[in-house]
Amino acid sequence: MAQKARRKNKELFALGNEAVVEGALLAGCTFFAGYPITPSSEIMEVMAQKLPRTENGAFIQMEDEIASMGAVIGASLAGRKAMTATSGPGFSLMQEHIGYACMVEAPCVIVNVMRGGPSTGLPTSPAQGDVQMARWGTHGDHPIIVLSASTVQECLEMTIVAFNFSEKYRVPVILLIDEITAHTREKITIPSERDYEIFSRVLPSMPPEWFKPFEETTRGVPPMAPIGSGYRIHVTGLTHDPLGYPTQRPDEVEEFTHRLFRKIDQHFADIVLTEEYETKDAEVAVVAYGSVARSAHLAVDQAREQGIKAGLLHLKTLFPFPRAALEKLTRRGAAILVPEMNMGQISREVKRVNAGRVRVRTINRVDGQIITPSQILKNIGQM
């Protein structure tokens, strides 16, 4: 039986927040800067405990979230795999530096444990109100990757994925978790080294005088030279040329912006992660993410028991939006149900991709409570 193999791996009974730390450490994270905020604080607390015991690990509690993100980028530029964790209000503050990270292409991971908002909102209640902000929170056009996790095990796995994507594409990666997943304890299995892949940024292989730190490569992602490695590059939040120096030349500016987008666009297939459940013959497909995907899973089972052909498209990558997976369902004519704990942030994307082809219905729950399986089931029945 497969259980024998599984027993070799370490098992923990852990919070979603704790699982994030386990994933980060497996991915090679050695730097954490943060500021306490409910409901993400456990991530920071466990990091404070574990990082000094990790080879080269460094942890710092900064004076606010702006500073945390600044320190994270600084550490990233100095060659570390770095992360921070926060929640709504702190995420708002971080936007300034998330833009900077996009601009200088500094790999970093930001975990946002979503709670009710806007403003201080509902500090201890779940919501999914930061989805569009994760995509468009910082000013200016920018590419970014937004992931989500729905179970405690996924918190671990998606944190590894987040680090891998950020290192591979030199882009900040935002992992959205909601309060429910963050504060649920479940058994998780720590994968052994064979079970997962770790990606680290590509270092330049040419001598410093030939190196153009922001030049497009065949991979679309320029190699990255850490501070102090002899390359003495200039990093700036101003729009820059391939050498890294500020430019206002229209041709250089345009090329720069296009390159930033291209490096994500040309790797959609790698970045866009979804999971399908019972969708093959589904007449009603639920599109869900985060803890709501768990409720939807049970609701689909219950609907099937009642003879309704329901299915689930579970979005693990939220941005770039999994267009192809959704189109596969809408082309076949499946009606779409989008339950989310916000006023319709992913359903906007769903409707945009659907372009009126099939019926799209939404469940928008904003009372600080999780969407229950029975609520989804009722709506499936009404489609």
**In the range 249-268, which residues lie near another protein by CB under 8 A?**
none
Q: Does the protein bind another protein through residue 70 (CB under 8 A)? A: yes
Residue 175 bridge partners (DSSP) = 111, 147
Contact (CB, 8 A) for 101 and 75: no
If we measure between CA atoms, which residue out of 257, 225, 265 comes closest to residue 106?
225
Q: How far is the CB of 358 from another protein (least distance, A)?
A: 25
Q: Is the peptide bond before 320 cis (omega within 30 degrees of 0)?
A: yes
Nearer to another protein, 76 or 354 (CB): 76
Matching residue, tokens 């969407």: 371
Q: Does the protein bind another protein through residue 280 (CB under 8 A)? A: no
- Widest CA span in the chain: 69
Q: Does the protein bind another protein through residue 170 (CB under 8 A)? A: no
Q: Does the protein bind another protein through residue 71 (CB under 8 A)? A: yes
Nearer to another protein, 164 or 181 (CB): 181
Contact (CB, 8 A) for 170 and 263: yes
Q: What angle do CA 319, 320, 321 make, to 5 degrees?
A: 80
Contact (CB, 8 A) for 271 and 165: yes
Nearer to another protein, 35 or 165 (CB): 35
Choose which of 217, 246, 270, 352 interacts with another protein (CB under 8 A). Answer: 246
Nearer to another protein, 151 or 330 (CB): 151
Choose which of 20, 88, 97, 162 interacts with another protein (CB under 8 A). Answer: 97
Q: What one-letter code names the amino acid at 85?
A: A
If we measure between CA atoms, which residue out of 153, 166, 211 comes closest to residue 15?
153
Q: How far is the CB of 80 from another protein (least distance, A)?
A: 5
Choose which of 28, 132, 136, 186 interacts with another protein (CB under 8 A). Answer: 186
Q: What one-letter code names the amino acid at 93?
A: L
Choose which of 24, 47, 75, 380 interacts with another protein (CB under 8 A). Answer: 75
Q: Does the protein bind another protein through residue 160 (CB under 8 A)? A: no
Nearer to another protein, 132 or 184 (CB): 184
Q: Supply φ then ψ for residue 168, to 5 degrees.
A: -70, -40
What part of residues 32-61 is at the interface with another protein (CB under 8 A)? 33, 38-39, 52-53, 57-58, 60
What part of residues 282-341 is at the interface with another protein (CB under 8 A)? 291, 294-295, 297-298, 301
Between CA 111 and CA 8 the distance in angstroms is: 29
Q: Does the protein bind another protein through residue 233 (CB under 8 A)? A: yes
Q: Does the protein bind another protein through residue 102 (CB under 8 A)? A: no
Who's near 303: CB < 8 A, 6+ residues apart? 284, 310, 377, 380, 381
Judged by CB under 8 A, which stretch of 30-38, 168-176, 212-220, 347-355 contacts another protein? 30-38
What part of residues 103-142 is at the interface with another protein (CB under 8 A)? 123-124
Q: How far is the CB of 309 from another protein (least distance, A)?
A: 18
Between CA 91 and CA 343 the distance in angstroms is: 19
